[in-house]
Each structure stands twice: as structure tokens, then as C-alpha cells.
Structure 1
């Protein structure tokens, strides 16, 4: 079982991932700004620590074999927080993981992060931040899995996805729960090949994608 550090554990995807990882028998370290947001999860394999991602958080990487970065500044913040969390905190997490010789880094990115110039959207600054964070991870020398989900939905997951880009924009969606499940499958994955994959609603079992 993995010792997983979940950065962004109090977010909508992160919190579901924490629960699923614990259910699967993994140990989870969850650095969060507000510990109360995880107060409803009690488990002997969960360690919740208070942490501001805009400060040094390198101490949490020792003894970890998987890092998951699923933190985000949120839709109600401006470009400043996007830079500090989605880009700079992600960049720092990669550097801390490299210094601690963490074997695997899982980045929750976004559908448009591969080429932000191809997207006409008010969230382009966010996509640029995600792109730069992804590029930093790719060139870090760490073993990585980068997840690029489509538009996120607050509905029950199906555990079924597709990884090719839909031609219909309305089909480029995925429940947050399925992204959380993809995180769990990424943590459990034994193959060490690096992966960058889209995630949308589909018909392929998530476990099969990460075999």
C-alpha cells in the first residue's frame, strides 16, 4: 500500500480521493489550510496537518512514495491566486518531491493545459498556469502521471471513461468522483511509464486505463 501525500485534500476532488485511498488501504498525509474541512473523515491511516501552500511545505514529503497535486485556487479568485497555487505551489511541490526522491507524482491538470493558445476562454490564465506546472513536472525527471479531465460535474461517478478528445464539446465532461477514482488507480499503478491522459465520460473502466 502507498504512503500518499495529497495536496489539495480539502477540495472537491481531493476529499473524495482521500476517502477512496483510505478505503483501498493506503496511508494518506493531507496538508490543508483549514483542518476543519476534513474533520468528518476519521481514519487511523489519515494524517491531517495544517499548511499554507504559499509557504514552505517541503517537510511533508519525507517518507512519501506518491504525491498527488490536486490543489486549485478556485473559480472565485483572481489571477494572483492562480499563479500562486496552480502554478507556483505546483512547481514547488515538484521540486520538493524531487529533493525527497519521491517515486511518483500525479498531477491533476485540465483539458486545455496542453495548448492554452488553442482555447478561447476567460479561464486562459488558469490553463497557462496548469500548462507551465505540467511542463515543469515533465522535465523534472520524476515519474509522472498527468490527468487532464474535461469540464467537471457534481454527479455520481460511473467508473467509466474515454481518453480521446470528443468531437462534441458537450461530451467533454466528467464527474469529479471519476477523477478521484482515476487518482486512486494512478496511485496503485505499477507500470512506471509516464502518462498524460484526458479523462471524459465514456465506456472504458477506469482501472483498465491505468493498467
Structure 2
């Protein structure tokens, strides 16, 4: 077996293991804040970052949940005082908006997420972090383009959650044009 193939297999394997550990730790930490299941933190953060005042259908698309599953999640968030339902301007739809409590909870989720992820980077030097960030940007671009292609496939009947549903837009530099996911989507939409 060649060294390149072995190195690639090793990298893929350790990436898979690390991804699971990092995701499990992050999810456990943020789910403890919302206490409403695994989709609640992503719903609150998505609303905090870009979807406040969106419809249940839009939230369903972001989370990759069925419409009925999203309605049940919104019911739980309303009962907990984290979101409110308000009538849309056209009178036919309902928008979901964060309450002040929901906004504070989303901010706590983002802070906890950042702390959890930062702990995984703690053993790396500044140069190693810079190199990792560049590699991760490249990987996210590739994954984003593949996700766009999968979404457009006619046989894809299961909703796919958005990659940025639990992202801190300020940390990724989205408004400065540094978000690899947004950049890939924007470039893809121009094609």
C-alpha cells in the first residue's frame, strides 16, 4: 500500500473519530442549555443569527426536520418562553420570533459552543491553528458544494439540515466575506 493512500486513510479515519468526539461534546454542552432536545439549540441559534421572524417552513428547512416535527419543536420553544408566534404581513403564515429570553439563551448556546470547540484546539500553536483553519475552509467549501448538488438531486426526498444552523456568523467572518460556506453558495448560485 502506498504511503499517500495510507496517510489519506489515516487522516480520514482520525477526522471521523475527532468529528464524532467534538460534535458529541459540543451537542451535549449546548443541549444542556436549551433542555428541549437536539434541535432546539440549532433552532435558537439559527433564529439568532439569520432567521428571526422566519416561517416554520423556513426553520424546518434549516433544521432538516419535517414540518410537523418543526411545529412540535416550536410548540416546546413557545411553552418555554423562548419564542413567540406572530402573524406574517400577508396574514396567511406565522412567523417565529425570539423572545428576549430566547435571545439570551441563543447567546449562551453560542458561548458554550465556542468554549467547547476552543477546548479541542487548546493543544495547537497559533501556526497550527492557522493551517487548520485554512484546511477546514477548503473542506467546508467542498462539503458545501457537494451538499448543494445533493439538494438539487430529484431523488432527494429527505430534508437536509443547513451546515450553518449552529454557526456563529461573527466568528466565521460572514459579513466580511470570509465564510467558506456562504462563499461557496454564492459562487454556486452565480453559475
Normalised by the size of structure 2, how large is the TM-score? 0.27
Normalised by the size of structure 1, how large is the TM-score? 0.26
